[in-house]
Amino acid sequence: MSQFLHALIERPAFVRSPLHALPDAVAERIAAGEVIERPVSVVKELLENALDAGAQDIRIEVRGGGLRLIRVIDDGYGIPASELAAVCIRHTTSKIVAFEDLDHLATLGFRGEALASIATVAEVTIQSRVRGTSDEEPASWATWRGGKLEERGLRARPEGTTVTVTDLFYNVPARLSYTRAARTENGHIVQLVRRYALGYAGVRFSLALDEHMAVQTSGSGDLATTLTELYHLALDEMVQEIQASDGQHYVLRGYIGNRVLAQGSRQYINLFVNGRWVQSRTLQDALERGYRSLLPKGKHPLLVLAIEVPPHELDVNVHPAKTEVHLLQEAIITEAITQAVKAVLERSPALPEAVQFPGPVLATQRRLPGPRRRGLHVAESAEGYRAESAPPGTAEVIAQLQPLAQLQQALILAESTDGSLYLIDQHRAHERVIYEHLRSTYAGTRAEDQEVSSHLLLEPVIIEMKRFEAELLEQRLPMLRGLGIECERFGGRSFVIRSVPAAEGSEQLANHLQELAEIAAEDSTDWQDHLLIGLACNSALRRGRELSAGEQRSLLKALSSVAAPAVCPHGSPILLHYSRTFLIDKFDW
């Protein structure tokens, strides 16, 4: 038997020690572990301090995965020389005075724990010069090791603060042994800096990992530009803006990527509440309710969403790392998030090319004007087209589409007013039109409440159900009448269906009534919506049917009036958009 197993079996009886207070050195190391879990925790706390100090330029240097060195340089307000010696004492802060200050908190940090915790488990040197001091006045500096102030002095430095952290976890070998390889730790740091760059598009960020530049932004103040700088993609046609507000409890601002940028993980979803990056299951669920049916199964969007709420309606003091928050008006805000995301994606057409995301670094210079290549020339100039006054996929654009042809009796080819090309799946487009008509006309109604228009079948159809399906279906017969389906029990597990909803294509439903009845007998809270989708799908005009020019125009007009013209009720794309820019680039016009 191994010595380890023997020790487990022969474990001595527990002996209680007297109650006593932990020595300060032990208590501080334990408390530091709650805030500083790994190198990225240090970078987070120092970045937040720099942002709280009003920095517009933040440079981060990391070596050895953060264990050897982390340095954060900012041009913020700075720390007065008279206060520098106290910044690494626990619970010293300039951000709050009384507990009531938490009700109107406007900073990322406030507890006064970060620098004290870092200094307890590393060597920390801080140099700082207060903004507005004369050029002749030197900066102050001080060094702590293991929580103790060891040296201090004066040296030259521009306005702002530099914090250098070395030998992280030198005195906590257990924490050091759980730290991952430098590459893993660097990955966490890159992800963190990207998050803050997205949350603060007006701040210049740069991150150097072992002297190699990993992240760099211009601080332009434009979030779309920052997205392009971080992910090295020309995203102008791939992201759409989100904006919503009730004028009282919330303001939502951000961008969401097109279907082509959807990924198999939530890594590219970033949520900010009052400038603070947060992880909230409630907010994530609200987002997913907005995009789940509009993206391929298992895919998640590129999304940056900033939520602004009144400070007194937000509680950030619920987690040591301050990544969880409580919202007073949570129900109102989550519903607004769901609807805002859904409203954008419902009008977001698919793009013609797959994109590797994040992509390679792209050259920013465009081709210089010059003579065309020899060979085939396009007689028509690329100039002279009116720019679309609305984003692709919106009702205004779809209503003005001019049908050009029908491809394989399945797709309508149409031209927009700016010269872009659209491909429209005729079956899915009709399916969406019928679904929204059924939902707006019949969903939630009951036979006794409203006279429902229905289409009487030439011959009643008898269907056979399983035992548990029969019981559920019988309970739902009144609701089916509210949908225009006249169905009654015909003895045992048999039912007879005499009518279906009176909608275009309803004559096609007779061959699908068994399938529809099984949907109506689903043991699910969403059965009614699933039934509407089934009715729409089986009523819609089929691929392979030739459409006249007038029929094509009528279908496009009907599609322009629905809420979600870009995706069918199953979540598949209806529109494929070849932008004018795409055509110019591909044909070298």
**CATH assignment of the domain containing 125:** 3.30.565.10
Q: Is the pLDDT of residue 332 over 90?
A: yes
Domain end among 172, 198, 215: 215
Residues 478-493: pLDDT tens digits? 888 888 889 999 888 8
Query: Would you state the structure tokens that stand for residue 376, as one six-digit string?
Result: 């085939």
Question: One-letter amino acid identity for 201?
Answer: A
Q: What is the CATH number of the domain that holds 578?
A: 3.30.1370.100
Q: Looking at the structure, tell me whether residues 227 and 191 fall in a common domain.
A: no
Per-residue confidence (pLDDT) for residue 271, from 0 to 100:
93
Q: Are 35 and 42 in contact (CB under 8 A)?
A: no
CA gap 250, 336 in Å, rounded: 9
Residues 502-540: pLDDT tens digits? 877 778 888 899 999 999 999 888 898 899 999 999 989
- Which pLDDT band, with edges at 50, 70 and 90, does 377 fall under? very low
CA gap 194, 217 in Å, rounded: 9
Q: Are 427 and 410 in contact (CB under 8 A)?
A: yes
Q: Is the pLDDT of residue 411 over 60?
A: yes
> Which neighbouring-strand residues pair with 577?
422
Query: Would you state the structure tokens that stand for residue 43, as one six-digit string?
Result: 């970078």
Q: Looking at the structure, tell me whether residues 66 and 154 fall in a common domain.
A: yes
136 part of a folded domain? yes
Q: Is the pLDDT of residue 555 over 90?
A: yes
Q: Interhelix angle for 426-442 vs 527-539, to 10°?
A: 130
CA gap 426, 540 in Å, rounded: 9
Q: Looking at the structure, tell me whether residues 209 and 226 fall in a common domain.
A: no
Mean pLDDT to the nearest integer, 297-322: 80
Per-residue confidence (pLDDT) for residue 81, from 0 to 100:
87
- Which pLDDT band, with edges at 50, 70 and 90, does 134 fall under? confident
Q: Which of 19-28, 56-65, 443-452, 501-510 has the lowest mean pLDDT?
A: 443-452
383 part of a folded domain? no
Q: Looking at the structure, tell me whether residues 432 and 543 fall in a common domain.
A: yes
Mean pLDDT to the nearest integer, 393-404: 90
Q: Which of 392, 297, 294, 273 has its CA nearest to residue 340?
A: 294
Q: What is the CATH number of the domain that holds 318?
A: 3.30.230.10
Q: Are 447 and 483 in contact (CB under 8 A)?
A: no
Q: What share of the chain is helix, strand, coil (3-state, %, to 5)?
A: 35, 20, 45
Q: Looking at the structure, tell me whether residues 470 and 503 fall in a common domain.
A: yes
Residues 63-118: pLDDT tens digits? 999 999 999 999 998 988 888 888 887 766 665 444 544 555 556 755 557 788 88
Q: Looking at the structure, tell me whether residues 234 and 168 fall in a common domain.
A: no
* Domain extent at residue 241: 222-345
Mean pLDDT to the nearest integer, 33-49: 83
CA gap 220, 204 in Å, rounded: 8
Domain end among 345, 375, 404: 345
Q: Looking at the structure, tell me whether residues 204 and 250 fall in a common domain.
A: no
Q: Looking at the structure, tell me whether residues 113 and 91 fall in a common domain.
A: yes
Mean pLDDT to the nearest integer, 5-16: 51
369 part of a folded domain? no
378 part of a folded domain? no
Q: Going by C-beta distance under 8 Å and a sequence separation of 6 or more, which residues neighbour residue 186?
A: 62, 65, 66, 209, 214
380 part of a folded domain? no
For the chain, the first-to-last Cα distance in angstroms comes to: 79
- Which pLDDT band, with edges at 50, 70 and 90, does 358 fall under? low
> Which neighbouring-strand residues pair with 162?
73, 127
Mean pLDDT to the nearest integer, 306-321: 76
- Which pLDDT band, with edges at 50, 70 and 90, does 408 fall under? very high
- Which pLDDT band, with edges at 50, 70 and 90, does 363 fall under? very low
Q: Going by C-beta distance under 8 Å and a sequence separation of 6 or more, which residues neighbour residue 35?
A: 41, 45, 113, 114, 117, 320, 321
CA gap 216, 203 in Å, rounded: 11
Give 276 or 177, the one with higher predicted confidence: 276
Give 295 or 432, the one with higher predicted confidence: 432
The CA-atom distances, in angstroms, between 100 and each of 139, 380, 485 are 34, 68, 60
Q: Is the pLDDT of residue 562 over 60?
A: yes
Most confident by average pLDDT, 89-93, 173-177, 316-320, 453-457? 453-457
Number of domains in the chain: 3
Mean pLDDT to the nearest integer, 13-39: 57
User: Omega before 358 cis (within 30°)?
Assistant: yes
Percent of the chain with pLDDT over 90: 39
Q: Looking at the structure, tell me whether residues 338 and 406 fall in a common domain.
A: no
Per-residue confidence (pLDDT) for residue 82, from 0 to 100:
86
Mean pLDDT to the nearest integer, 371-390: 41
DSSP 8-state class, residue 178: T
- Which pLDDT band, with edges at 50, 70 and 90, does 440 fall under? confident
Per-residue confidence (pLDDT) for residue 481, from 0 to 100:
86
Mean pLDDT value across the chain? 81
Per-residue confidence (pLDDT) for residue 429, from 0 to 100:
95
Q: Are 53 and 93 in contact (CB under 8 A)?
A: no
371 part of a folded domain? no
Beta strands 454-464 and 421-425, pairing class: unpaired
Q: Which of 234, 239, 232, 228 has its CA nearest to residue 360?
A: 232
Q: Are 421 and 413 in contact (CB under 8 A)?
A: yes
146 part of a folded domain? yes
Q: Looking at the structure, tell me whether residues 35 and 182 fall in a common domain.
A: yes
443 part of a folded domain? yes
Domain end among 189, 215, 241: 215
CA gap 478, 55 in Å, rounded: 64
Q: Going by C-beta distance under 8 Å and a sequence separation of 6 or more, which residues neighbour residue 8?
A: none
Q: Looking at the structure, tell me whether residues 426 and 569 fall in a common domain.
A: yes
Q: Looking at the structure, tell me whether residues 439 and 457 fall in a common domain.
A: yes
Q: Are 64 and 165 in contact (CB under 8 A)?
A: no
| pTM for the predicted model, two decimal places | 0.72
Give 19 or 403, the one with higher predicted confidence: 403
Phi–psi pair at 154, nearest 5 degrees: -130, 145
Q: Are 402 and 516 in contact (CB under 8 A)?
A: no
Question: One-letter amino acid identity for 369?
Answer: P
Q: Which of 91-105, 208-222, 295-309 has the lowest mean pLDDT?
A: 91-105
Per-residue confidence (pLDDT) for residue 327, from 0 to 100:
86
Q: Going by C-beta distance under 8 Å and a sequence separation of 6 or more, which residues neighbour residue 563?
A: 346, 436
The CA-atom distances, in angstroms, between 79 and each of 64, 88, 125, 161 are 28, 12, 13, 7
